[in-house]
Amino acid sequence: MDDDKELLEKMKLRILRSFKWKEDVVNPLAKELEITNEELEKILMNHLDMSSLEALHARFESARPQCIMEKLHIDLRFCFLCDVLGIITTGEADRIKINLTKKIIDGNNYKDVLEEGRKEILDLLLIE
């Protein structure tokens, strides 16, 4: 039985250490949690079975735009501008976030795109 467990662990590690997994999931999450890649791999192997690991990358990729949009919502202070002050509509905020998210996914630097978003907001607010 120990051989089966060891084989399963090797199979899981092959998935986690594949290039796309490492680049898209392991490296960013380990960095965010401030742990080593190996520690995150162990966590994922303990919590996910083979089928979950095989399907997770696609789910991770499909969640990426939503995560970016939520981060932009916070960083561009739409919480206040839309939700509290109401000086920007949710439609306008969504349009800005969708445009910026596409640029980030296409490889543009987050800080540069964030600055572009700030300028768009100011342009929108300065219209009389």
Query: Tokens 């795109």 label which residue?
Result: 113
Question: Would you say residue 127 has pLDDT above 90?
Answer: no
| Nearest in space to 96 (alpha carbons), one of 75, 61, 69 | 69
| pLDDT of amino acid 16 | 67
Please say whether the structural domain 64-128 has been given the CATH code 1.10.10.10: no
| pLDDT of amino acid 71 | 94
| Calpha distance 75→94 (Å, rounded) | 14
| pLDDT of amino acid 77 | 94
Dump pLDDT digits (tens) for 1-35: 576 677 767 777 677 666 577 777 788 888 888 99
Dump pLDDT digits (tens) for 45-89: 788 777 777 776 666 667 788 889 999 999 999 999 998 889 999
| pLDDT of amino acid 70 | 94
| Calpha distance 16→36 (Å, rounded) | 13
| pLDDT of amino acid 58 | 66
| Boundaries of every domain in the chain | 1-48, 64-128
Beta-carbon neighbour count of residue 120 at 10 Å? 16
Beta strands in the chain (DSSP E): none
